[in-house]
Structures are given as C-alpha cells and as structure tokens.
Amino acid sequence: MTSASRLSAAVAGISGVEPPSVGGAIVFALRRDLRVALRSRAELGVELLFYVIVVSLFPLAASPSRAVLSTLGPGVLWTSALLASLLALPRLFAADFADGTLEQMALARGPLAAYASGKMLAHWLTTGLPVAVLAPLLGAQYALDGVALALLAASLLIGTPILSLLGAIGAALTLGTRGGGSLLALLVLPLYAPVLIFGAGAVDAARAGLSAAPQLSLLAAGLLLAVVAVPFAVAAAVRIALD
C-alpha cells in the first residue's frame, strides 16, 4: 500500500460522520511529518551541520577582535538560520505532491489549511527549533555576552516560525514547476528580509544599551499575523497546484 493510500485509509477511518476537528487535522499532519523526518535523520543532520559550519567559518575569516566579532555575530547567526530554513523548504510539500499524499489531504474531510498547519509546525520543530537551541552555544564564538545570547535565542524562537510559515507559501506556489528550488529562493528571500532585520536588530539594540522590546514586539506581531493568515494562503496555493 502506498503512502497516499495509507493516508486515505487513515483519514477515512476516523470515527463518526462529522469532519475531524481542526486540532485533530493539525495533530495528524504533525505526527505524520515528524515520523517521516525522523526516518531521514541524515537529511536533518545535513541542515543542522550546514548551520553549524557556516556560523563557525565566519570567525576564522574575520578579525579576531572581540568588537568586530560581536558586531558581526547577530547578523551571521540570523542569516545562517535563514539559509538553513530555506534549505529545508523543498521537502515540505514536494514528496507528498509527487506521491499523491497531498491530493489525499485536499480530498480528506478535515480542512486543508489545518493539515498544512501541521506540516509547517513539523518543519519548524525539525529546523527552526534546533537552530534556536544551538544559537547561544555558537554565539559564544562571537564574544556575545549573556544578555545578547538570551535575546538571540528569544528572537530566533519568535522569528524562525515566521520563516517556516512564509517559506511554506513559496514551497506551495512552486509545486510542480521547473527549477522550483531557484524560484522558491527568489520568492521567499524578499519576504524573509524584515524578519532578518528585526531579529538581528534586537540583539544589536541590546548591545548598544537600548531596549530590544520594539524589535521583539514587531516579530511577535508578525508571527501572530502569519499564524492566522498563512495556512489559508498555503491551502489555496496547494489547491491551485493540484488543479
């Protein structure tokens, strides 16, 4: 039985005549994608190793001055997190689109936006969350103090979910297109720029003796807006790709 057939049977086997709840659809997609991700640990390891290598190479190429390293650190760590998230985006929908699983989700009784939300949450848990956890350890290479490292971790915890959500729009829009990877980067990178600016800006503000609250508040507002709007945009883009 193919994965698409298994998904169809699982969704069709939900008891009762009422459609599954939004929460049930999110949990269903989340658990499925996490199982798939854990079966491909090598791919997850490559993405995290990419992040670690990129962050660790900059201090070797830059000046050993603590002032220079602490100035570069927030931008390097955030840019590397952005690239690691972008590297993982093609696997968000492509495999499910190729084997028909995505079509089964669109035909299932649960809302497609909820299934897409579960997939985006799984993407963040396997890419954004590990990056945020590793950031304070890697940030020590850039002579950042404890306050700056804490703000770096906080900004990544708020900002990386936005990267996963915005990236999902690009991944859905490029389904089935030639050169989808290049097109995906062109679509997503301009959307990532404000997140990068506010995320790195929060750490820079703290280093300058200013409050990081404005930048973190803007990131939080962006996250709330993305959580509300993006699942519906992704569902619409997926339906267009399936038509």
Asked if residue 25 has pLDDT above 90, the reply is no
The residue among 145, 144, 149 whose CA lies nearest residue 132 is: 149
Phi-psi region of 210 (alpha: psi -120 to 50; beta: other; left: phi over 0): beta
- Given a contact cutoff of 8 angstroms between Cβ atoms, the answer to whether 47 and 84 are in contact is yes
Q: What confidence category does residue 5 fall into, taking pLDDT thresholds of 50, 70 and 90?
A: very low
Query: What does the pLDDT average to over 43-71?
Result: 86
pLDDT of residue 20: 60
Asked if residue 194 has pLDDT above 90, the reply is yes
| Cβ count near 5 (within 10 Å) | 13
Cα 194 off chain centre by: 15
Q: How many helices (H) and strands (E) does the chain have?
A: 11, 0
Query: What does the pLDDT average to over 45-50?
Result: 87
pLDDT of residue 222: 95
The residue among 171, 155, 131 whose CA lies nearest residue 222 is: 155
User: Quick one: three-class SS letters along 153-198?
Assistant: HHHHHHHHHHHHHHHHHHHHHCCCCCCHHHHHHHHHHHHHHHHHHH
Asked if residue 201 has pLDDT above 70, the reply is yes
Asked if residue 185 has pLDDT above 90, the reply is no
For CA atoms 114, 232, 215, 44, the dihedral sign is positive
What digits encode the pLDDT tens for the residues 144-176? 888 999 999 999 999 999 999 999 999 998 887
pLDDT of residue 47: 84
33 compared with 19, residue with greater pLDDT = 33
- Given a contact cutoff of 8 angstroms between Cβ atoms, the answer to whether 195 and 222 are in contact is yes
Tokens 């990236």 locate to 167
Which range, 22-31, 44-53, 194-203, is most confident?
194-203
pLDDT of residue 179: 64
pLDDT of residue 95: 82
pLDDT of residue 4: 46
Asked if residue 8 has pLDDT above 80, the reply is no
Q: What confidence category does residue 195 fall into, taking pLDDT thresholds of 50, 70 and 90?
A: very high
User: What is the rounded average pLDDT for all residues in the chain?
Assistant: 85
pLDDT of residue 119: 93
Rounded to the nearest 10 degrees, what angle do helices 112-123 and 146-173 cross at? 140
What digits encode the pLDDT tens for the residues 101-132? 888 888 877 788 999 999 999 999 999 999 99
58: amino acid identity, one letter: F
Burial track 86-115 (b if 16+ CB lie within 10 A, e otherwise):
bbbbbbbbbebbeebbbbbbbebebbbbbb
How far apart, in whole angstroms, are the C-alpha atoms of residue 125 and residue 160? 10
Q: 20 Cβ partners below 8 Å, 6+ apart?
A: 11, 14, 28, 109, 110
Lowest mean pLDDT among 6-15, 24-33, 74-83, 137-146: 6-15
14 compared with 112, residue with greater pLDDT = 112
